[in-house]
Structure 1
Amino acid sequence: VGVIGFSVGATISWLCSESNLCNFVIGCYGSRIRDYVNRSPVCPTLLIFPAVEQTFDVDCLINSLKQKREPLLEIKKFYGVHGFMNPFSQTFNKESADQAFQTISDFLEKQLAHH
């Protein structure tokens, strides 16, 4: 079972990563993850962030998460702002979206190969 979420769904995905109900979790631009940095994933977890968010410092959040040295956590940052992967958003960035979706595809391939 895998969970993928965008925006608020990414924060929910992050919270799910701490349960034993998921085999993997993917969260894309979950801005409220900053309220839950104390969580520890128990399954492979991929978090994708834009380079810039209006409501918080992305690099600060990423550094806080990386300092925990969670072995199951992978974090990627791509050029753009919140919504850069959504082709229907004004903030869509095709190049970054393509890179992010390739990262997700690679992550899924690795996770599905283990099951």
Structure 2
Amino acid sequence: MNHIGFDDGKEQIEDLITSLSNSYTHIGLLGFSVGATIAWLCSTNSKIDFIIGCYGSRIRDYVHVKPSCATLLIFPEQETNFSVSSLMKALQQQRNPLLEIKQLHGEHGFLNPSTVTYNEQSTTQVYKIIDSFLMKTML
């Protein structure tokens, strides 16, 4: 079994970003859970235009990261292992105009229709939030 970890995951994604940057004008990352944390770690890469991270619970270990691209973080109302409101407060203390944080009703995984935590109403709201974020980011 291979052990990847967040740093190795970040390195792999940044290698991909470097290769894609030769062919694409705009590059964005969308990540869920672990993928959201890795996207957050990549948010300082100058080749990325935006990131969207959904319930990246391990972001709490990387609150020192200061995104240099448009960043949308979406959190559930509650997580089992930590206080979402404390994490959001720590991130908001950055006062980074590129960082947008939203919290919606539900638990970790609320966007995944295959989980028991799926929340259709919050999912509909998230689609609208993401659409609005992309419209203002890419225009």
TM-score by length of 2: 0.80
Mapping for residues 88-103 of structure 1, pairs under 5 Å: 88-103=114-129
Q: Which runs of 5+ in 1 are unaligned?
A: none
TM-superposed CA distance for 1:21, in Å, is 1.8
Structure 2: segments with no counterpart, 5+ residues: 1-26
Q: How does 1:62-73 map to 2 (within 5 A)?
A: 62-73=88-99
TM-score normalized with structure 1 length: 0.96
Post-superposition shift, 1:18? 1.1
Whether 2:32 is the aligned partner of 1:6: answer yes
**Percent same amino acid among aligned pairs?**
54
- How many residue pairs get aligned? The number is 113
The runs of at least 4 aligned residues of structure 1 exceeding 6 Å deviation read none
Question: Per the alignment, in what secondary structure is the counterpart of residue 39 of structure 2?
Answer: helix
Partners of 1:35 and 1:3 in 2: how far apart?
A: 20
Task: Tell me how far apart the structure 2 counterparts of residues 12 and 3 of structure 1 sit (CA, whole Å).
Answer: 9
Once the two structures are TM-superposed, the CA of residue 5 in structure 1 deviates from its matched residue by: 0.2
CA RMSD of aligned residues (A): 0.6
Shift of 1:68: 1.2
- Please give the residue correspondences for 1:1-115 in structure 2 after superposition, counting only pairs within 5 Å: 1-113=27-139
* Offset of residue 19 of structure 1: 1.2
Of the two structures, which has the highest relative contact order with CA contacts closer than 8 Å and spacing of 6 or more? 1
Rg larger in structure: 2
